[in-house]
């Protein structure tokens, strides 16, 4: 996607400053190998650790420092408190007009007990965290236009556009 944006803007992807910063609590050896062998590996920064660990947050912030446009995508532990902590840690990095996308908000809309081996469920999930967080962050709004364009989504109410 980043390279398509570069090409559309007449940029050489090898010269473009665009990057993806990925955070994963456990980058398994076979995944790291596949990423390291990918032809676009030079566009990726990988951080292994918890997304809410202060050291990880600082690393992410250092990559975003001085960057004009930032989009944040949250898709890790889907428990309410964890997502709330991620929103508090990263949403302020989002540039005005861009998005913080919170995935798997659909958990709130599924039947209770759909995830028996997970800590999240109806009432304790990304959507409940989004709605609580938005109460104190008027600089963001849910972009319902995206929800209305999608026939199927795992992120209803999860496309948060930064207004100011």
Residues 97-129: tens digit of each pLDDT: 999 999 999 999 999 999 999 999 999 999 999
Tokens coding 76:
């890790």
What value does the mean pLDDT take over residues 68-93?
97
What value does the mean pLDDT take over residues 2-14?
77
Residue 44 parent element (H or E): strand 44-48
What value does the mean pLDDT take over residues 17-42?
95
Residue 1 has pLDDT above 70, yes or no: no
Residue 136 has pLDDT above 70, yes or no: yes
The whole-number pLDDT of residue 15 equals 85
What value does the mean pLDDT take over residues 24-52?
96
The proportion of the chain whose per-residue pLDDT surpasses 70, expressed as a percent, equals 98
Mean model confidence pLDDT for the chain: 95
Residue 89 has pLDDT above 70, yes or no: yes
Alpha-carbon separation of residue 117 from 66, 76, 97, 121, 159 (angstroms) = 41, 15, 37, 10, 27
Residue 148 has pLDDT above 80, yes or no: yes
Residue 5 has pLDDT above 90, yes or no: no
Q: How many CB atoms lie within 10 A of CB 148?
A: 7
The whole-number pLDDT of residue 8 equals 74
The whole-number pLDDT of residue 86 equals 98
d(CA 78, CA 55): 21
DSSP 52-111: TSHHHHHHHHHHHTT-S---EEE-S--SHHHHHHHHHHHGGGSPTT-EEEETTGGGGGSP
Entry pTM: 0.93
Picking from 126, 121, 125, the residue whose alpha carbon sits closest to that of residue 111 is 121
């Amino acid at each position: 996607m980043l390279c398509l944006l570069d090409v559309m803007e007449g940029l050489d992807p090898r010269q473009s400053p665009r990057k993806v910063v990925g955070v994963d609590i456990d980058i398994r050896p076979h995944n790291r190998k596949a990423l390291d062998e990918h032809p676009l590996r030079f566009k990726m920064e990988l951080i292994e650790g918890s997304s809410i660990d202060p050291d990880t947050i600082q690393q992410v912030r250092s990559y975003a420092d001085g960057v004009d446009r930032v989009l944040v995508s949250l898709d890790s532990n889907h428990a309410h408190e964890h997502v709330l902590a991620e929103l508090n840690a990263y949403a302020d990095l989002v540039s005005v007009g861009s998005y913080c996308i919170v995935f798997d908000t659909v958990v709130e809309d599924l039947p209770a007990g759909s995830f028996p081996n997970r800590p999240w469920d109806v009432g304790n999930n990304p959507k409940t965290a989004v709605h609580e967080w938005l109460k104190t962050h008027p600089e963001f709004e849910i972009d319902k236009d995206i929800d209305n364009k999608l026939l199927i989504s795992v992120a209803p109410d999860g496309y948060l556009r930064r207004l100011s």
